[in-house]
Amino acid sequence: MKIAMIQNNYIVGDFEGNLEKIKKSIVDHSQSDMIVFSELSMSGYYPWDLIHRPHFMTKQEKSLNEVKELSKDTDAHIVVGAVTKNESGVGKDFFNSLIVFHHGEEVFRYHKKLLPTYNIFDEKRHFEEGNLSGLAELNIKGKKQRVGFFICEDGWNDESYDYITNPVKEVVKEGASVLISINASPSNLGKAQQRDKIFGAIAKRYGLPLIYVNQVGANDDIVFDGASFVFNQNGEKQVQMKHFKEDAYVYDTLKHTQYLSPTPEKYEMIFEQITLGMKDYMSKIGVKSIVFGCSGGVDSALVAAIGAISLGKENVLAVTMPSKYSSTGSVTDSEDLCQRLGIKLLNMPIKNEFDAYKQSFLQDAGMELKGVAEENLQARLRGMMLMALSNSHGSFVMGTSNLSETSVGYTTIYGDAVGAYSPIAGLLKTDVYGLCHWINQKYRDVIPSSIIDKAPSAELAPGQKDSDNLPDYDHLDAIIKQELFWNHLNSEEQEKTQTLVDEVEPAMYQKVLRLIDQAEFKRRQAPISARVYPMTYGSGRKIPVVQKLIAPKQELSYQRVSSRKP
């Protein structure tokens, strides 16, 4: 049986555009026995409450009818993912479904049985759990093939006890001779290895080939890496499709040929994740260019490099906005960086605006701006200038904050926190440095060493450094890892993280935890960023803005287990 695995990049709700991609794939692979698309391929994953708009289902039905009609022109069975109505009148209004078309007819339908409600997922908000068999008996070239279908989460429970139902085991018991999973499985560090372990074990355990087709592309903060694969009946990988790119491959269950695209290492994976997230966010909205504040620091340097490499240097505008507290290096390092990258740099000092605003405030409010108010005024003047440039050129402002800063609130709301997107806001500071070194190795030192080596500082006050009020970033990031995704670390990573945390004084540890909680209101208003780690702030973490639960350090007990959950 020849199975065409189609790894497309869809736009949520773009039924016409998604349909064109699906139709082209069907025409290109019409000689296959089966053409398999990913989960919710008709609408794109995840549509959230768009599902409740009346024209959502109307447009999808039109697209499904076109796919059904096109199936008349090929002998291939066409497998798509779609939202379908729950006509029973009991439970939620919709199912997350898999539909098979053949010769102009719908010949099989299956509804996803395991609906995830953890991390970034909340499928029970919209879908009812399915109760149909996943076993399809399909007539392929005159032979009856017993195919076991399931959808994404259905396959993550085969060796676990998170759900009572085990859809994979069910179709195997019913006599499946091949397993096919359609997926919208988001990417994060370690996810590819996690999938290999779980689905390779399924194929080996049941002695059946397993075909896994995943979506690729970014929708809001979620990035899908594609990386579709096939494991044979011995649990050996025979197919590994491309990571972070559209791809298609025809797998022949009889010939067992190999197609193994390389799996990216850590910093290549982070680079691809971040750049795909940014490019798709912009292109799917319809914006081509970016503008950002270039401080001469490592964070804005990384944003500059990512923008120039992924969008093209002609689409990137950097702006240095020195104040009286800025070091000479903030300008000269910015000039060096932008010259190496070939991007335009504007020099727009804020001293005059800063002095004028302080004088006006004193005159009108009857008080002098001092301390934090004076420091943050500088950041807000810079944010105002960037937004003015954005409005003038039609470019997106890119934020330059990293995950370590946003964790503890070391950003100025309405200042350096402005932006339509924030490429590195999902990246810990230690990995910011790691990614800079990786980029310099790959692209020949485009980020000056003077930027990478300098002590981090917001430069909002004389002699200011990040380390004045925080632990160094190795220790700060360890606390953040423990707070955000401890159970997703392996035992070695947990040991290393715990050692660093133990070195932090209890008072400083408490301070960091308080800062993390106090900054929740800032993060609620922050620009979207690509998710990099298994758990991060945003859609996958539900913490109240107003709350007072912080445990003393000596009472914290972190169980050293590693979760398999994505």
Which residues does the annotation mark as catalytic?
A: 39, 112, 152
Q: What's the rounded Cα separation, in Å, for the pair 499 and 495?
A: 6
Q: Are 428 and 402 in contact (CB under 8 A)?
A: yes
Strand, helix or coil at 211? strand
Q: Which residues pair with 35 in a beta bridge?
A: 4, 78
With residue 356 as reference, give the H or E element that holds it: helix 351-365
Q: Are 486 and 430 in contact (CB under 8 A)?
A: no
Concatenated DSSP letters of 50-61: GGGSHHHHHHHH
How does strand 135-140 pair with strand 259-260?
unpaired
Residues whose CB falls within 8 Å of the CB of residue 118, separated by 6 or more in sequence, listed in order: 565
CA angle 263, 265, 270 (to 5 degrees): 105
Q: Within a 13 Å sphere around the CA of 371, how many CA atoms are in the beta-carbon half?
A: 2
Q: Within a 13 Å sphere around the CA of 488, how many CA atoms are in the beta-carbon half?
A: 19
Secondary structure in 3-state letters for 245-270: CCEEEEEECCCCCCEECCCCCHHHHH
